[in-house]
């Protein structure tokens, strides 16, 4: 954690009612980096990810202590505007979830709800986002066709494009390739690597090879605790904690 961290998490605890799911998590995320969150099922990595854009608010019984600072401001303070937070910190989900609308309308959804109405401006944003998501060539002739007609991998890249259209700073990705075939997975990983130049990316994955392939920093979660986080190469070659080593070498999980 440094003074210039994009995101700073301090002493974060999360409770589902009486049950505690995250224990005293401290983590710093550097701008323009890719951070991978790894760990066995149920370890809390997705829950942690969702605290960064307050998507956990959608669950009734969730309670949080600690601070989450984005660009130096605590996003859990009472006068945070959640709507604009989510514009800045966007999320891609495990299963692609395009709206049952045309490809164009899917991408234009974000800009439209934030007030952009002129067709020329929307056209430009749609094209730019699709190019950034490496989907433009495949989609440009079917912009007005339903997004549900795309393949799984294309749909996921559409969801990424949809997210990019609102011009966030941070991209949260919750196991974005676990529902995709290997070829689409590779395409999305390539895309992620390209996006790093403009965005800060945090990706949850249960695939360790993926984490090793694409991330700069890796954080290992176990049973709600952040066990270790460090430079990816170092983590995979010489982990400091025995539990990390056991997980990485496949002894459990």
Residue 38 · residue 208 · CB < 8 Å: yes
Q: What is the C-alpha end-to-end distance of the chain, expressed in Å?
A: 28
The answer to whether 128 contacts another protein (rule: CB under 8 A) is no
Closest CB 126 distance from another protein, rounded Å: 14
Residues in contact with another protein, total (CB under 8 A)?
30
Ordered alpha helix ranges (H), the chain: 45-51, 82-88, 103-113, 119-132, 136-139, 152-164, 182-195, 208-214, 232-237, 242-248
Cβ of residue 83: shortest distance to another protein, in angstroms?
5
- In this chain, which of 77, 84, 194, 240 binds another protein, going by CB under 8 A? 84
55 lies in the site for another protein, by CB under 8 A: yes
Task: List, in order, residues 6 or more apart from 36 with CB less than 8 Å away.
Answer: 202, 203, 204, 205, 210, 211, 214, 215, 217, 218, 219, 232
Q: Between β-strands 170-174 and 89-92, what pairing exists: parallel, antiparallel or unpaired?
A: parallel
Q: Out of 114, 140, 234, 251, which residue is the one contacting another protein (CB under 8 A)?
A: 114
Judged by beta carbon, residue 148 or residue 212, the one nearer another protein is: 148
Per CB under 8 A, the list member of 58, 78, 119, 141 interacting with another protein is: 58
Q: Does 97 bind another protein (CB under 8 A)?
A: yes
Between the CA of residue 147 and those of 18, 96, 109, 114, 142, what are the distances in Å?
Answer: 41, 11, 13, 21, 9
Closer Cβ to another protein, 12 or 55, answer by number: 55
The sign of the dihedral angle between the CA atoms of 19, 21, 26, 28 is: negative
87 touching another protein, by CB under 8 A: yes
Give yes or no for residue 78 binding another protein (CB under 8 A).
no
Site residues for another protein, 34-53, by CB under 8 A, read 53
Which of the ranges 28-36, 106-114, 129-137, 189-197 carries the binding residues for another protein, by CB under 8 A?
A: 106-114
How many residues are recorded in the chain? 253
Contact between 151 and another protein by CB under 8 A: the answer reads no
Residues 6+ positions from 18 with CB-CB distance below 8 Å: none
Which residues lie near another protein (CB under 8 A)? 53, 55, 58, 81, 83-87, 90-91, 93, 95, 97-101, 109-110, 112-115, 146, 148, 159, 162-163, 166
């Amino acid at each position: 954690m440094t003074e210039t961290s994009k995101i700073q998490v301090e002493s974060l605890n999360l409770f589902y009612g009486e049950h505690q799911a995250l224990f005293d998590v401290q983590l710093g995320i550097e701008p323009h980096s890719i951070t991978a969150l790894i760990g066995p099922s149920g370890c809390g990595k997705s829950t942690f990810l969702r605290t960064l854009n307050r998507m956990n608010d959608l669950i009734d019984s969730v309670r949080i202590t600690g601070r989450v600072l984005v660009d130096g401001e605590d996003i859990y303070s009472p006068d945070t505007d959640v709507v604009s937070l989510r514009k800045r910190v966007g999320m891609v989900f495990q299963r692609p979830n395009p709206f049952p609308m045309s490809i164009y309308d899917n991408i234009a959804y974000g800009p439209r709800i934030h007030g952009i109405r002129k067709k020329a401006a929307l056209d430009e944003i749609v094209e730019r986002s699709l190019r950034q998501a490496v989907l433009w060539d495949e989609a440009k002739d079917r912009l007005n066709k339903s997004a549900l007609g795309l393949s799984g991998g294309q749909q996921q890249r559409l969801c990424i494009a949809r997210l990019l259209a609102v011009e966030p700073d941070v991209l949260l990705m919750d196991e974005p390739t676990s529902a995709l075939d290997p070829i689409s997975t590779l395409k999305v990983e390539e895309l992620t690597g390209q996006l790093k130049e403009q965005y800060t990316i945090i990706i949850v994955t249960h695939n360790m090879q993926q984490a090793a392939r694409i991330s700069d920093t890796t954080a290992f979660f176990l049973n709600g605790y952040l066990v270790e986080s460090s430079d990816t190469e170092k983590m995979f070659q010489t982990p400091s904690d025995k539990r990390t080593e056991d997980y990485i070498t496949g002894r459990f999980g």
